């Protein structure tokens, strides 16, 4: 049986925390970045595992018209249509800005281990691997780093925090224990 909150219909498996974040975003008009993934253990995948979706995951939350109004992701303020949000498959919601906060995280959320490999015999010389499996290819390392930043991978943001420290003539090692991790957590 679907859940109906503020006249918006949500899947019956959608956690109330996700509904609350989506409703606040819909009513305030703020932009969000949605991460889809496995919310339950299924087909060899563990709950909280991110799908790394790139398309139709950033925008404002709206809702459809008709008898069952479902949440939509709208590209911008002028948009009146967009794809339905898979609200029962959300593992993370964050503010899409560079330093925006995390609004929701599945209790078992996992991004996986990211590595960057150089390829010799390919048009796409840089390959991003997640948990040892190829996921994306890029022509330059700068493109790969921008993609990692956009996707919110903490180990690469951590490097940026350290680079900022060096630019300010502060040794990252001189910072109190856990401060870099706290900065990274607030950036993602």
Give the pLDDT confidence score for residue 144 in this predicted structure: 83
Report the pLDDT value the prediction gives residue 155, as an integer from 0 to 100: 53
pLDDT per residue rounded down to tens, the chain (188 residues): 899 999 999 999 999 999 999 999 999 999 999 999 999 998 888 999 999 898 999 999 999 998 999 999 999 888 889 999 999 999 999 988 755 678 999 999 988 878 788 888 888 888 888 888 999 999 987 788 778 877 877 655 555 556 666 666 766 666 655 555 555 544 44
Predicted local distance difference test score (pLDDT) of residue 89 = 97
Give the chain's radius of gyration (CA, Å). 18
Q: Give the per-residue pLDDT at 187.
A: 45
Full-model pTM? 0.78
Residue 188: its pLDDT value, please? 40
Per-domain residue ranges of the chain: 3-105, 113-151, 154-188
Q: How many other CB atoms sit within 10 Å of the CB of residue 83?
A: 13
What is the DSSP secondary-structure string of the chain?
--EEETTEEE-TT--HHHHHHHHHHHHHT-EEEEEEB-SS-BTTBPTTBB----SS-EEEEEE--SSS--EEEESSTT----PBP-GGGEEEEE--STTPPEEEE-TT-B---EEEEE-SSSSS-EEEEETTEEEEEESSHHHHHHHHHHHT-HHHHHHHHHHHHHHTT--GGGSPTTHHHHHHHHH-
């Amino acid at each position: 049986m679907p859940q109906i909150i503020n006249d918006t219909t949500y899947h019956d498996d959608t956690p109330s925390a996700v509904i609350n974040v989506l409703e606040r975003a819909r009513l305030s008009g703020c932009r969000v970045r949605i991460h889809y993934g496995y919310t339950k253990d299924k087909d060899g995948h563990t709950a909280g595992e991110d799908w790394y979706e790139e398309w139709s995951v950033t925008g404002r939350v709206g809702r459809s018209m008709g008898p069952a109004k479902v949440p939509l992701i709208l590209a911008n303020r002028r948009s009146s249509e967009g794809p339905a949000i898979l609200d029962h498959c959300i593992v993370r919601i964050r503010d899409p800005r560079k330093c925006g906060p995390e609004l929701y995280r599945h209790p078992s959320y996992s991004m996986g281990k990211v590595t960057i490999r150089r390829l010799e015999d390919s048009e796409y010389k840089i390959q991003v691997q997640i948990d040892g499996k190829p996921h994306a290819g890029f022509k330059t390392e700068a493109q790969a780093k921008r993609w990692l930043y956009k996707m919110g991978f903490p180990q690469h943001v951590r490097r940026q925090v350290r680079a900022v420290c060096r630019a300010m003539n502060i040794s990252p090692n001189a910072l109190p224990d856990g401060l870099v991790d706290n900065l990274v957590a607030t950036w993602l």
